[in-house]
C-alpha cells in the first residue's frame, strides 16, 4: 500500500495526464481574477447555448478541412484496427485465483469487464467469464457509461465497488457489484456521480470521501472529508474520520487487510507534492513523522518505506533526494530512526517505481530513461540482499505488477519503440519469467532505428531525447518530424510501442521524437524541481533546444517540424507557439492549460498551484505570466498552424482554455487556427476506441498536411 503514490497517480494520471458535483464544477467560480476585460469569458459557460453553438461551428470547419478526405479515413481506420485488434494483449490484474481484465473492441465499444484463470490465460484463446457488459448496461439504462475501474474486497474478491463515469470525466457513480450473481447489489453501497474516493474496510464498512454537500469538497474539487460508512445506513449517518482544509488538495482513508498487519491510514494531500500520513488506531490518529514532501510512504507487512523528494537528516544520517529508505514499521512508531538505504540516485539513474511481492522488493530503475530491474530481499538485522533481474531489450521500458498478499509472483510488461509489447509472468526464486502474451507487430519496424541524443539547453544542462527514424535517413532537413513532450508533475516519458504512431506517422516517412525535458521525472525529483514555478521556462528552453538540435543535425527544418502535447504538455505546446514560433511548422495542442491567469478558477485547476504557482498572488503572477500563452499571444505575429482539441466532459483541465485560445487567436486575425471538441471522454478526450482513433487521426492528418 503506497499511500502518497496512489493519491498522486489517481489525481495525476487517469499521465493531470481527475467534489463538487458535475453541475457545480461546470459553473465558473467568481473571483478577483474574474473581474477582467477578457472578451471570451462567455466560452467558460461550458454547456451554454452560445458556447456550444461556437463549438459546433468550429468542429464543422475543422472536420471539413482535415477529416472529409480519403487520407483521414485511411489513417483513422488503420489506427482503429490497432485499437480493436483481437491480437492485442488483454492486460490483467490478479485478484485471488482470477485474472481480471477490461476489454474494448468493435463489437464491444464501451467494453466488457471480465475474468479468467491463469490456466485459461496461458491459452492462445482463453475463455472469459463476462462480469459486466457496459454496452448492454447502457442499452438497458439509456445511458453512456464509461468504465473507470473497480475496488474488490480481499481476500475472496466477491464484492466490488465499480466506478462508472456518465461521460468519461473524473466524476464517477459508485455501485456495489456482486461477482457471484454478476449484478449490482440491491440496496448496496451507492454514490451518485462525483469525484469520490472509496475503499473497503470489511464486508459492511467502507471508507468514503465524496460530495457530502456544500463545503465538503476542496477548492481543487476533491473530497475534503473522509468518513466510515456502514452498510444499511444512509450516507448522512457516515462517521467522520478526518476533515481537511478547503485549501488542501484531497483527503482519503484506506484499510490494509494483510493478515497480521491490519492497519488503517489517513492521507491528507496538501498539494501534489506535500502530504501528511496518519495511522488510525483505536480511534486516534498517529502522525507518521516523515518529510511532508516524501514521494511515497509505504507500509508493507513489518516494513515502512520512504521515498524522498528532498534530502532528510534523521537518526544522525542524511539521506539524499531521490533515495528510497526502509525501517521496521513498529520500530519507527516507537521512536527509532535508523533506516537502511535501498536506493540512491546518481547523475544517470533514478527510481521510477517499486513493487512488493510477498517476500521481495522489485526496484524499477531508469538509467538515462531506460529500464533496469533490481530485486531486494530483506534479511536479518535490517540487511537487504540485492540482485539484478535479467536485462530488457535496449531502449525499452519494463513495467512491473505484483500481488504482495499472494506470493512472489510478478508480471512484466516489456515494451520499446520498435519492439511489440510482451507480457511475462514469473515467480521470484523459480527461474526466468515466461512470456504469456505477445502483441503483434502493427507496422514493419525493420525499416527504422532508435537512437538517443543529448543536447545542451540554454543553461548548459544536457537534455536527452529519443529519435525513431528510417535507417537510411538523409540529413537534408526535408523530413516531416513530430516532436512530443510533457515535462511536468515528475512524470517520465519512457520508450513505448505504439502501432498508431507506427502506422500514422513512421510508415508514411515521418520521424518521431520524444523529448525528456525537465519538469518530468526522468532523473528523479531534481529533474522535476528544476522546472517548478518560477523556473518553469527551463522546461520550454529544453524543448526548444531539442527542436534546434533536430534542425541543426539536418533531421528536419522549421517548416517540416511539428510538435504535439496534451494537458501539461498542452501548456508546453502553447509556449512553443508563443515563445518559439520560428521553430515549428505546425503544433497540435491537446486538452491544454493555456490561460494561466485564471487556471486556478477553472475545473480542478487549484490542485496544480504547487506545480505552477498562484496567479492570484501578484508576486507569483510576475513569473507565471511569462509562460501563460493566453496572455502572451499577440496580433501581427507569424505563428505556425495550430490545432486545439479538447472535450466538453473534461472535468480536470476543462475545455474552456482551448476554446478561449482558439477564439482569441481568430479574433486577432490569425488564420491557421483550428479547433475541435469531442463531447465525451473526459481528460482523455475519447470514451471508446472509435473516438480515440478519430481524435488521433485528426491530429496526425493536421500535422502531416501542414508540414508538407
Q: What is the pLDDT of residues 421-480, one digit of tens each?
A: 999 999 999 988 999 999 999 999 999 999 999 999 999 999 999 999 999 999 999 999
- Give the sign of the dihedral formed by CA 604, CA 219, CA 308, CA 312: positive
C-alpha grid cell, residue 104: 474494448
Q: What is the mean pLDDT of residues 669-680?
A: 96
Alpha-carbon gap, residue 641 to 639, rounded angstroms: 7
Q: What percent of the chain has pLDDT over 90?
A: 91
* 435 and 509 housed in the same domain: no
Which CA distances in Å does 673 have to 133, 665, 667?
Answer: 40, 7, 10
Question: Do residues 372 and 391 touch, judged by C-beta distance below 8 A?
Answer: yes
From the list 98, 255, 479, 683, the catalytic residue is 683
* 431 and 475 housed in the same domain: no
* 385 and 464 housed in the same domain: no
pLDDT of 486 over the 90 cut: yes
Q: What is the mean pLDDT of residues 381-410?
A: 84
Q: What is the pLDDT of residues 111-163, one digit of tens each?
A: 999 999 999 999 999 999 999 999 999 999 999 999 999 999 999 999 999 99
Alpha-carbon gap, residue 228 to 199, rounded angstroms: 10
Q: What is the pLDDT of residues 550-569, one digit of tens each?
A: 999 999 999 999 999 999 99
Q: What is the pLDDT of residue 405?
A: 78
**Cβ atoms within 10 Å, residue 61:** 13
432 in a structural domain: yes
Q: Which residue has the higher pLDDT, 403 or 34?
A: 403
302 in a structural domain: yes
439, 459, 483 — which closes off a domain?
A: 439
422 in a structural domain: yes
Q: What is the pLDDT of residue 11?
A: 36
pLDDT of 263 over the 90 cut: yes
Q: Which of these, 509, 484, 510, lies nearest to 496 by C-alpha position? A: 484
Q: What is the pLDDT of residues 168-207, one digit of tens each?
A: 999 999 999 999 999 999 999 999 999 999 999 999 999 9
Range of the domain at 346: 293-404+406-439
pLDDT of 14 over the 50 cut: no
Confidence of residue 390 (pLDDT cuts 50, 70, 90): confident
Please state, rounded to an integer, the average pLDDT across all residues of the chain. 93
Q: Does the annotation count 683 as an active-site position?
A: yes
Q: Which of these, 235, 270, 195, lies nearest to 19 by C-alpha position? A: 195
* 370 and 507 housed in the same domain: no
679 in a structural domain: yes
188 in a structural domain: no
C-alpha grid cell, residue 605: 485547476
Alpha-carbon gap, residue 541 to 546, rounded angstroms: 9
Q: What is the mean pLDDT of residues 496-523?
A: 98
Q: What is the pLDDT of residue 36?
A: 62
Furthest CA-CA distance within the chain: 71
HEC readout, 19-85: CCCHHHHCCCCCCHHHCCCCCCHHHHCCCCHHHHHHHHHHHHHHHHHHCCCHHHHHHHHHHHHHHHC
| C-alpha triplet 106, 109, 112: angle, nearest 5° | 105
Q: Which residue has the higher pLDDT, 36 or 321?
A: 321
From the list 353, 567, 628, 686, the catalytic residue is 567
Q: Which of these, 65, 16, 56, lies nearest to 684 by C-alpha position? A: 16
Q: Which residue's entry shows cell 485478484?
A: 95
Q: What is the pLDDT of residue 2?
A: 39
* 530 and 624 housed in the same domain: yes
Q: Does the annotation count 567 as an active-site position?
A: yes
Which CA distances in Å does 343 have to 139, 328, 363, 441, 649?
Answer: 52, 17, 9, 36, 41
* 499 and 410 housed in the same domain: no
Q: What is the pLDDT of residue 381?
A: 72
Q: List, as one string, the DSSP characters of 342-382.
A: EE---SSEEEEEEEE-SS-EEEEEEETTEEEEEEEEE-GGG
Alpha-carbon gap, residue 579 to 598, rounded angstroms: 20
Question: Do residues 267 and 275 touch, judged by C-beta distance below 8 A?
Answer: yes
Alpha-carbon gap, residue 504 to 443, rounded angstroms: 10
Chain centroid to CA 221 = 18
Helix (H, G, I), strand (E, B) or coil at 88: coil
- The total number of structural domains in the chain stands at 2
The CATH number for 342's domain is: 2.130.10.120
* 322 and 364 housed in the same domain: yes
Question: Do residues 174 and 148 touch, judged by C-beta distance below 8 A?
Answer: no
Torsion of CA 650, 653, 655, 659, to 10 degrees: -170
* 487 and 593 housed in the same domain: yes
pLDDT of 8 over the 60 cut: no
Q: List, as one string, the DSSP characters of 228-267.
A: EEETTS-GGGPEEEEE--TTSSEEEEEEE--TT--EEEEE
364 in a structural domain: yes
Q: What is the pLDDT of residue 22?
A: 28
* 302 and 385 housed in the same domain: yes
Confidence of residue 5 (pLDDT cuts 50, 70, 90): very low
Question: Do residues 421 and 414 touch, judged by C-beta distance below 8 A?
Answer: yes
Confidence of residue 392 (pLDDT cuts 50, 70, 90): low
Torsion of CA 366, 369, 371, 374, to 10 degrees: -10
pLDDT of 526 over the 90 cut: yes
Buried b / exposed e along 399-434 (16+ C-beta atoms within 10 A): bbbbbbbeebbbbbbbbbbbbbbbbbbbebeeeebe
> Cα(first)–Cα(last) distance of the chain, in Å?
50
Q: What is the pLDDT of residues 18-29, one digit of tens each?
A: 322 222 233 333
Alpha-carbon gap, residue 42 to 39, rounded angstroms: 8
396, 420, 439 — which closes off a domain?
A: 439
* 428 and 553 housed in the same domain: no
The CATH number for 495's domain is: 3.40.50.1820
Contacts of range 97-105, beta carbons closer than 8 Å, 24 or more positions apart? 98/157, 100/150, 100/152, 101/128, 102/147, 103/128, 104/688, 104/689, 105/689
Q: What is the pLDDT of residue 636?
A: 94
Alpha-carbon gap, residue 354 to 376, rounded angstroms: 10
Question: Do residues 296 and 524 touch, judged by C-beta distance below 8 A?
Answer: no
389, 416, 439 — which closes off a domain?
A: 439
Q: What is the pLDDT of residues 68-96, one digit of tens each?
A: 999 999 999 999 999 999 999 999 999 99
Q: Which residue's entry shows cell 472529409?
A: 68
674 in a structural domain: yes
344 in a structural domain: yes
* 665 and 611 housed in the same domain: yes
Question: Do residues 197 and 206 touch, judged by C-beta distance below 8 A?
Answer: no
* 503 and 608 housed in the same domain: yes
Q: What is the pLDDT of residue 7?
A: 38
Q: What percent of the chain has pLDDT over 70?
A: 94
Alpha-carbon gap, residue 684 to 652, rounded angstroms: 10
Amino acid at each position: 500500500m503506497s499511500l502518497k503514490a496512489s493519491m498522486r497517480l489517481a489525481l495525476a494520471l487517469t499521465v493531470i495526464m481527475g467534489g463538487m458535483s458535475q453541475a457545480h464544477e461546470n459553473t465558473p467560480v467568481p473571483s478577483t481574477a474574474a473581474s477582467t476585460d477578457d472578451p471570451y469569458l462567455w466560452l467558460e459557460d461550458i454547456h451554454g447555448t452560445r458556447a456550444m453553438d461556437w463549438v459546433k461551428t468550429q468542429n464543422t470547419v475543422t472536420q471539413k478541412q482535415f477529416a472529409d478526405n480519403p487520407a483521414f479515413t485511411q489513417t483513422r481506420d488503420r489506427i482503429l484496427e490497432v485499437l480493436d485488434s483481437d491480437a492485442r494483449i488483454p492486460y490483467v490484474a490478479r485478484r485471488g485465483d482470477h485474472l481480471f481484465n477490461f476489454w474494448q473492441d468493435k463489437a464491444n465499444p464501451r467494453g466488457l469487464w471480465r475474468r479468467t484463470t491463469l490456466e485459461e490465460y496461458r491459452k492462445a484463446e482463453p475463455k472469459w467469464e463476462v462480469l459486466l457488459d457496459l454496452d448492454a448496461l447502457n442499452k438497458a439504462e439509456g445511458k453512456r457509461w464509461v468504465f473507470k475501474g473497480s475496488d474488490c474486497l480481499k481476500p475472496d474478491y466477491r464484492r466490488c465497488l465499480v466506478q462508472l463515469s456518465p461521460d468519461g470525466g473524473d466524476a464517477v457513480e459508485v455501485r456495489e457489484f456482486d461477482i457471484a450473481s454478476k449484478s449490482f447489489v440491491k440496496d448496496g453501497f451507492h454514490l451518485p456521480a462525483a469525484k469520490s474516493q472509496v475503499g473497503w474496510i470489511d464486508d459492511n464498512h467502507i471508507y468514503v470521501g465524496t460530495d457530502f454537500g456544500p463545503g465538503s469538497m476542496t477548492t481543487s474539487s476533491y473530497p475534503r472529508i473522509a468518513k466510515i460508512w456502514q452498510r444499511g445506513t444512509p450516507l448522512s449517518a457516515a462517521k467522520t474520520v478526518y476533515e481537511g482544509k478547503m485549501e488542501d488538495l484531497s483527503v482519503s482513508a484506506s484499510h490494509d487487510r494483510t493478515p497480521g498487519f491490519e492497519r488503517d491510514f489517513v492521507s491528507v494531500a496538501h498539494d501534489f507534492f506535500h502530504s501528511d500520513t496518519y495511522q488510525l488506531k483505536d480511534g486516534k490518529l498517529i502522525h507518521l513523522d516523515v518529510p511532508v514532501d516524501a514521494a511515497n510512504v509505504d507500509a508493507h507487512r513489518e516494513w515502512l518505506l520512504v521515498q524522498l523528494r528532498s534530502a532528510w537528516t534523521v537518526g544522525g544520517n542524511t539521506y539524499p533526494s531521490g533515495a528510497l529508505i526502509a525501517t521496521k514499521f513498529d520500530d519507527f512508531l516507537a521512536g527509532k530512526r535508523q533506516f537502511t538505504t535501498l536506493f540512491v540516485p546518481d547523475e544517470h539513474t533514478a527510481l521510477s517505481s517499486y513493487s512488493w511481492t510477498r517476500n521481495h522488493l522489485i526496484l524499477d530503475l531508469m538509467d538515462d530513461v531506460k529500464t533496469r530491474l533490481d530485486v531486494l530481499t530483506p534479511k536479518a538485522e535490517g540487511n537487504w540482499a540485492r540482485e539484478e533481474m535479467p536485462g530488457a531489450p535496449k531502449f525499452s521500458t519494463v513495467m512491473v505488477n505484483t500481488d504482495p498478499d499472494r506470493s512472489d509472483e510478478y508480471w512484466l510488461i516489456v515494451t520499446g519503440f520498435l519492439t511489440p509489447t510482451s507480457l511475462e509472468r514469473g515467480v521470484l526464486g523459480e527461474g526466468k519469467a515466461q512470456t504469456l502474451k505477445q502483441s503483434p507487430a502493427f507496422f514493419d519496424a525493420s525499416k527504422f532505428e532508435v537512437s538517443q541524443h543529448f543536447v545542451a539547453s540554454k543553461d548548459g544542462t544536457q537534455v536527452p531525447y529519443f529519435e525513431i527514424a528510417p535507417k537510411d535517413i538523409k540529413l537534408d532537413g526535408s523530413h516531416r518530424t513530430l516532436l512530443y513532450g510533457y515535462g511536468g508533475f515528475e512524470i517520465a516519458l519512457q520508450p513505448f510501442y505504439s502501432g498508431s504512431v507506427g502506422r500514422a506517422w513512421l510508415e508514411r516517412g515521418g520521424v518521431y521524437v520524444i523529448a525528456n525535458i525537465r519538469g518530468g521525472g526522468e532523473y528523479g525529483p531534481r529533474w522535476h524541481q528544476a522546472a517548478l514555478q518560477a523556473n518553469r521556462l527551463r522546461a520550454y528552453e529544453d524543448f526548444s533546444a531539442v527542436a534546434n538540435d533536430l534542425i541543426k543535425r539536418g533531421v528536419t527544418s522549421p517548416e517540416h517540424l511539428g510538435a504535439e502535447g496534451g494537458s501539461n504538455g498542452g501548456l508546453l505546446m502553447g509556449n512553443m507557439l508563443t515563445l518559439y514560433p520560428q521553430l515549428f511548422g505546425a503544433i497540435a495542442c491537446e486538452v491544454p492549460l493555456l490561460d494561466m491567469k485564471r487556471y486556478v478558477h477553472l475545473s480542478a485547476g487549484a490542485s496544480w498551484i504547487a506545480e505552477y504557482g498562484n496567479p492570484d498572488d501578484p508576486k507569483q503572477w510576475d513569473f507565471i505570466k511569462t509562460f501563460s500563452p493566453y496572455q502572451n499571444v499577440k496580433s501581427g505575429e507569424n505563428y505556425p498552424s495550430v490545432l486545439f482539441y479538447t472535450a466538453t466532459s473534461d472535468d480536470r483541465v476543462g475545455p474552456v482554455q482551448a476554446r478561449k485560445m482558439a477564439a482569441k487567436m481568430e479574433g486577432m486575425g490569425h488564420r491557421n487556427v483550428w479547433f475541435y471538441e469531442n463531447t465525451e471522454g473526459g481528460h482523455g478526450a475519447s470514451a471508446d476506441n472509435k473516438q480515440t482513433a478519430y481524435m488521433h487521426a485528426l491530429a496526425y492528418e493536421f500535422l502531416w498536411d501542414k508540414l508538407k
